[in-house]
Amino acid sequence: MPRVERRMRTGVRLLLGAVWLAVALFALRALVL
Amino acid sequence: MTRGLPPPLLAALFVLAACAPLLLAVASGEPPEALQAEAGIGLGLAALALMLLQFAHSGRLETIAGRIGIDRTMRVHRSAGIALAAMALLHPLAFVAPPLFTNPELALRGLAGMLRAERMQSGVIALALLLVVVAASLARGRIGLAYQRWRALHAALGLAAAAFAVDHALRVGLYSGSAPLRAFWLGGLALAGSALLWTWAIKPIRDARAGWRVASVAPLGPDYWEVTLHRPSGAPLSFAAGQFAWLAFGRRAPWDDNPFSIASAPGDPRLAFVIREAGDLTRRIGALPLGSPVRVDAPHGAFVLDPSDRRAVLLIAGGAGIAPILSIWRDLAARPDAGAVRLVYGAWTAERLLYRDELARTAAERGFGLFLRVDEGPLCAGATRGILDASILREALTGLDPNATVAMVCGPTPMMLAVAATLERLGLPPEAIRYERFDYD
């Protein structure tokens, strides 16, 4: 697979990874607060 | 012609909008529940935000897709659809998470009781609809669902799922009772509905009234037709070479149109398209009556050259992929200041190499490089045998600096991916290799 295609897929994974991370941080509030 | 928002801004807006309900929930000041409940709530909030964002990714809104292109837009749409379905599935499970591992029977009984409760009905319907939408999208090819029928179903069921999910959030959501989050859900749902209304009702009516008619239909070669459109007002469409149009021949439902690359150059009062006989619609192309109405939704796509880009241009076309490449070639031929231009064009047989005379004439007049490839059958003048492999691409790049060359590739997806990989090996930077796939599986 060309790098140009891999870059696009990585970019999309990063976007959605940021949302999953935000969900995890939101849940972890329960342990801190 | 809209050029769309820049990619970094779009990415930031996407993450911000997807995480906004989580931030609003935190800002509501409610003390958090237990870890598993907060995980369940967080998954639900993010899933619903992503679901509402999906309506901006239809590929028809140029503010979104104009700069990043249809490939990235649909890739985000597809991946976000899978991610939000996973979040929505985990959302109810998280509430029964602790006994799920120690006493699964108790957990499942608790889950069943929860899902049977009357106030949970809209949530259960939303989840069921969502799973149908995602499963039908992933299996569309295998279950033989026609593209146009699937598209109408996808939009209708998607909006219904979003509406039931918003109802669910407002009915049982712990944080969604707060005014800002309530406004976010209702505003998001209204925007999602508006996006669909614009795409499937207002825009098609406007596009149909633009007055485009079939001006000519001519065979180009085996299986290939050239269709040109004109409108009596004579005003040319404002587009950039390489862009495409959604066309609906005759009077058709709003979702019953197909994408075709524009083959004519910008400024030409007639819009030209190269159409290959393949599906149901394209098999009837030869019988299109002259003067019949055509709904044109255009321009779309980011497969364009930046006019300020001074790099050499390497155009690569395979089969029907010649259409947008021809538009770019014609546009460059009309520019007195065009730099080095090379075209590598391959087809299955020599008679499927379209516009050969025009290409050869322009190449001679403007000093553009022309490299023709034929896979099978007799060769024609100027063509060599083979596919679009490293040898022909290396030959076409002779004398050019790969670091100062931009490549525009159009053809079947496996060909574009193979050509892109070869061009990278030949020294072109990945960002200098452009293509649009139009398939997202």
SS3 of residue B4 by DSSP: coil
Predicted structure pTM score: 0.91
Token pair recorded at residue B158: 């998607």
Cβ-defined contact of B15 to A19 (cutoff 8 Å) = yes
DSSP string, B24-75: HHHHT-PPP--HHHHHHHHHHHHHHHHHHHGGGGSS--HHHHHHHHHHHHHH
Interface of B with A in 79-108 (CB under 8 A): 79-80, 83, 87
The answer to whether residue B3 scores a pLDDT higher than 70 is: yes
The answer to whether residue B334 scores a pLDDT higher than 80 is: yes
Smallest CA-to-CA distance from B366 within B320, B315, B409, B324 is with: B315
Quick one: average pLDDT of B270-296?
87
Q: Render pLDDT for B67-103 as a digit per residue (tens, 0 to 9).
A: 888 889 999 999 999 999 999 999 999 998 878 788 8
Q: Any chain B CB within 8 A of the CB of A12? A: yes
Cβ-defined contact of B83 to A16 (cutoff 8 Å) = yes
Query: Residue B441: its pLDDT value, please?
Result: 52
Chain A interface test: which of B51, B70, B75 (most A C-beta within 10 Å): B75
pLDDT, chain B, mean: 93
Neighbours of B429 (CB within 10 A): 16
Contacts of B50 in chain A (CB under 8 A): 19
DSSP state of B235: P
Cβ-defined contact of A30 to B33 (cutoff 8 Å) = yes
Count contacts between A and B (CB, < 8 Å).
87
Q: Any chain B CB within 8 A of the CB of A21? A: no
Delimit the domains of chain B by residue range: 7-207, 210-300, 312-435
Cβ-defined contact of B79 to A11 (cutoff 8 Å) = no
Of B39, B87, B431, nearest to A27 by CB-CB distance is: B39
Q: How confident is the model at residue B58 (pLDDT cuts 50, 70, 90)?
A: confident
Q: Compare B185 and B235 and report the one with higher pLDDT.
A: B185
Query: Residue B281: its pLDDT value, please?
Result: 66
Minimal-distance CA residue of chain A relative to B14: A15
Please report, rounded to a whole number, the percentage of residues in chain B having pLDDT higher than 90: 76
Q: Using CB atoms within 10 Å of the CB of residue B399, give its burial: 0 to 12 exposed, 13 to 18 middle, 19+ buried.
A: exposed
Query: Residue B98: its pLDDT value, please?
Result: 79
Cβ-defined contact of A12 to B421 (cutoff 8 Å) = no
Q: Any chain B CB within 8 A of the CB of A17? A: no
Residue B199 Cα, gap to closest chain A Cα (Å): 24
Which residues fall within 8 angstroms of residue B421, CB to CB, at 6 or more apart?
Answer: A1, A2
Q: How confident is the model at residue B437 (pLDDT cuts 50, 70, 90)?
A: confident
Phi, psi of B69 (to 5 degrees): 90, 165
Amino acid at B63: T
Class of domain B312-435: alpha beta
The answer to whether residue B2 scores a pLDDT higher than 70 is: no
Q: Render pLDDT for B207-257 as a digit per residue (tens, 0 to 9).
A: 999 999 999 999 998 889 999 999 988 778 999 999 999 999 988 889 889
The answer to whether residue B1 scores a pLDDT higher than 80 is: no
The answer to whether residue B279 scores a pLDDT higher than 80 is: no
Query: Residue B272: its pLDDT value, please?
Result: 97
Interface of B with A in 249-288 (CB under 8 A): none
Of B33, B42, B80, nearest to A23 by CB-CB distance is: B42
Q: Render pLDDT for B23-36 as a digit per residue (tens, 0 to 9).
A: 999 999 889 999 99
The answer to whether residue B293 scores a pLDDT higher than 80 is: yes
CATH 2.40.30.10 fits B210-300, yes or no: yes
Contacts of B43 in chain A (CB under 8 A): 23
Contacts of B430 in chain A (CB under 8 A): 2-4, 7
Contacts of A10 in chain B (CB under 8 A): none
> Distances in Å between the alpha carbon of B419 and those of A5, B75, B261, B402, B412?
12, 21, 20, 14, 11
Model ipTM value: 0.97
